[in-house]
Structure 1
């Protein structure tokens, strides 16, 4: 529920702070006082409408599904709209886009003048029917169907892939054989290219190295002379002898003789072959991995007929099982469809609306079954109904599902749902809203005393000059406002008596 709203600098409203209770809250006032402006501001903090306010805050007691947006729930959750150079939105001090905000808020906020008509969604009808069934075996069937349908989808995906592969199987087989042949013909070893390049580098420098060492080896011919000179000079010759020994070891470690038997042309050809593999696959490891995968694929292609036959057998079995469970679910739903229809029509009758008819028609089976619930009203399509009729039908559906499921959690915003209705029609809507208000927090703008008299909280919107204000009426003030709604600015005694009677009832 919405616990608090703060609005600053919004058109004719300088500052408004309201605290709300559960149940039905009604907003009344003369035309032009700012009721719709106020309601638009409330919706705008949830990204459901535009607003010119500089600041709007809302505290909401509800656990929203916000994990995917990286926002944690708080108690209460704080929504904020801030308008400076641009409009920015926040939830619990974290910035969020308007689109994401409205997705989050739609879970909890219903605006009955909006285009979304969630009450007519098939999933909602099915949920109510399943609640009406109230049967342990039915619940078990629903649970099993959800699991079976996941397996069904996986098998179907695999079978569809095989059927797709089968259409181009020869092409796929040839491609797999080509890659297998190419990699096998080269038979690369991990790290082989680097080793070959090191050999190539040494081969390219072999002659230069030998010539350089031929010149350098003359130092050994002068070794004795140097040592003698050091002795005569009384200088310790060990450093020179050590250096010459290290030089001999380095010379011997070159072991250039091993390159004599190297097939230079063979090394270059091997480098070229390995390089072609690296260009195609990136590394020897990747090429060997591709080889392994292609060998597995080729084996699968060779055995695809057997695999397809086995999948078709599984698909047939799971389709049969799925259909059998779905049929049992349909039978249970059809057994309570009349009861659901009766409850809805009870509310429609109360709202002076024509009866509806519900029908279950088959559709592709999914995790909830193979049922599509359709609704018709006197053979009139829903899109042919007036907005007032649609909203009363929605109220009947909300009231019916709340009664059946004994649940409902959210905020319903109504903008003059009782406009242009007779007194008895307005009272019927008021009575239905009172029932719904056991489960939902309801905000309603009204020009009719009947709905206003049923409110748990009655807010009066007034305008003094260019400035609007709103306040919650006390019990002793409500009769005056109802009487004004009945007879206008000049309140008659009859209007006051009628207003008091409405409040008593």
Structure 2
């Protein structure tokens, strides 16, 4: 639910703060007082609309999944829309895009003034129908679980079979390509680490001549070694350090000569050509290691292509067995749903009768197999498709569907926003809508703008939106103030004694 709403600097509103309760929340007030402005700003605070307010903020009790949303959850989560030079959106002071806020809000918030068909989607209607069946028998839950497991396995096998059949059409081309790729790598026959080793050899070859010349010059040092020793002897100095140094130098130079001598038989041209071959492999595949892995992959693919007929035969047999099992389970689901459909239609039409609407009919049609079975529910109002009925009929039909769904709800359903859903209705029709909303208010927090006394009297919380000069205000009404406001709705600005009495009777009846 939305626990608190705050608005600052939006059109005729300077500042508004609402402490909100659960249930049915009614906004009333004279035309032009700002009711729709206030409703739109609440939607905007949750990413469901746009407005030019400096700040609109809603504190909600909705759950936030950190893993899914990346937003830390608080005891009360705060959704905020700030407008300065541009609009910015925040959840718990963490900056988010409007889309992210809207997507999170859409899990809990529905604006019924929009022509939204989500309540009539097959998944939702089947869910309502299945909940009714499950209430009468535990058999459906077990059946659905068994069906889902079988369907997922069936779907997996079907996809594998389709892939093989697709590959089979171009199997010759695929085999030739795999063999060509394998041969291309095998011709070069690269070894892991070979490229680094060759680059090292190339580097050594490039300086071989220069190093050997330098070694020859350095060796002349040994020709004068005895002079150094004689001098140290005359100076009575210990010559051990000099002997050690000269021995170490001999080892270094001998090793170097041996190392570069080993390169005598290596052709520079061959090294450069091999480096180029390996470079071409690396450019194509990324690295020698990746090239070798790719070769192994193609070898396995080639083996799989050789065995494709055997694999296909096995899959065809498994597919046939699973398809039969899934269809039998889907038929069992359809049978249980079909038995409940009459009761579903009867109860739906009870709500519609209360809402002064013509009869609706939900019919089951066979659909292609999916996670829900093979059933598709199509709903018509007095034989008229949903896209052909009026907006008023559409919204009242949605209310009836929601009421039907709420019968087996075990948790709060979120927030419903209704803008003048009782507009142009008679008193009796308005009261019928109010009664359905009061029922739904056990499971939803409902915001509604109303100009009718019947719906207004049913509210669990009542706010008067009014103007003083050019500024709009929102005020929560107590019982006596509600009587006065409902009486104003009934008789206009000149409130009569009879209007007050009728308002009082409506409120007493609603309580």
Instruction: Tell me the residue number matched to 2:328.
Output: 324
Instruction: Tell me the residue number matched to 2:429.
Output: 425
Conservation of the 8 A alpha-carbon contact between 1:402 and 1:408: no
Instruction: Mark the CA change 1:43 to 1:207 in structure 2 (over 3 Å): closer, same or farther.
Output: closer
Instruction: Tell me the residue number matched to 1:446.
Output: 450
Offset, 1:285? 2.2
* 2:201 maps to 1:219: no
Q: Deviations over 1:425-447 (max 9, x none)?
A: 11111111111111111111111
Instruction: Mark the CA change 1:341 to 1:179 in structure 2 (over 3 Å): closer, same or farther.
Output: same
Instruction: Tell me the residue number matched to 1:10.
Output: 10
* 2:75 maps to 1:71: no
Instruction: Tell me the residue number matched to 1:251.
Output: 253
Equivalences for residues 198-277 of structure 1 within 5 A:
198-203=200-205, 205-253=207-255, 254-255=257-258, 256-262=260-266, 267=271, 270-277=274-281
- State which of 151, 154, 170 in structure 1 corresponds to 2:153: 151
* 2:156 maps to 1:160: no
Equivalent pairs counted in the alignment come to: 505
TM-score by length of 2: 0.92
Instruction: Mark the CA change 1:425 to 1:178 in structure 2 (over 3 Å): closer, same or farther.
Output: same
Instruction: Tell me the residue number matched to 2:314.
Output: 310
Q: Deviations over 1:367-395 (max 9, x none)?
A: 12111110011221212211111111111
User: Per the alignment, in what secondary structure is the counterpart of residue 217 of structure 1?
Assistant: helix
Offset, 1:218? 3.7
Instruction: Tell me the residue number matched to 1:109.
Output: 109
* 2:471 maps to 1:467: yes
Instruction: Tell me the residue number matched to 1:186.
Output: 188
User: Per the alignment, in what secondary structure is the counterpart of residue 459 of structure 1?
Assistant: strand
Instruction: Mark the CA change 1:138 to 1:197 in structure 2 (over 3 Å): closer, same or farther.
Output: same
Distance 1:297 1:329 in 2: 41
**Between 418-427 and 407-416, the greater mean CA deviation after superposition:** 407-416
Offset, 1:158? 2.1
Offset, 1:20? 1.8
RMSD: 2.3
Conservation of the 8 A alpha-carbon contact between 2:56 and 2:82: yes
Instruction: Mark the CA change 1:129 to 1:407 in structure 2 (over 3 Å): closer, same or farther.
Output: farther
Instruction: Mark the CA change 1:497 to 1:308 in structure 2 (over 3 Å): closer, same or farther.
Output: same
Offset, 1:280? 3.1
- State which of 492, 498, 504 in structure 2 corresponds to 1:500: 504
Q: Deviations over 1:106-154 (max 9, x none)?
A: 1111211113232111111111111111222211121122222322332
Instruction: Mark the CA change 1:174 to 1:228 in structure 2 (over 3 Å): closer, same or farther.
Output: same
Q: Deviations over 1:51-88 (max 9, x none)?
A: 22222222212224564221133222212222222222
* 2:405 maps to 1:391: no
Conservation of the 8 A alpha-carbon contact between 2:463 and 2:475: yes
Offset, 1:409? 1.6
Instruction: Tell me the residue number matched to 2:177.
Output: 175
Instruction: Mark the CA change 1:118 to 1:206 in structure 2 (over 3 Å): closer, same or farther.
Output: closer
Distance 1:328 1:203 in 2: 80
Offset, 1:209? 4.5
Q: Deviations over 1:21-60 (max 9, x none)?
A: 2221211111111111111111111122222222222221
Instruction: Mark the CA change 1:311 to 1:41 in structure 2 (over 3 Å): closer, same or farther.
Output: same
Conservation of the 8 A alpha-carbon contact between 2:25 and 2:461: yes
Q: Deviations over 1:213-264 (max 9, x none)?
A: 4444343333334433443454444343333322322232232554455566
Conservation of the 8 A alpha-carbon contact between 2:64 and 2:71: no
Conservation of the 8 A alpha-carbon contact between 2:409 and 2:443: no
Instruction: Tell me the residue number matched to 1:350.
Output: 354
Distance 2:272 2:491 in 1: 106
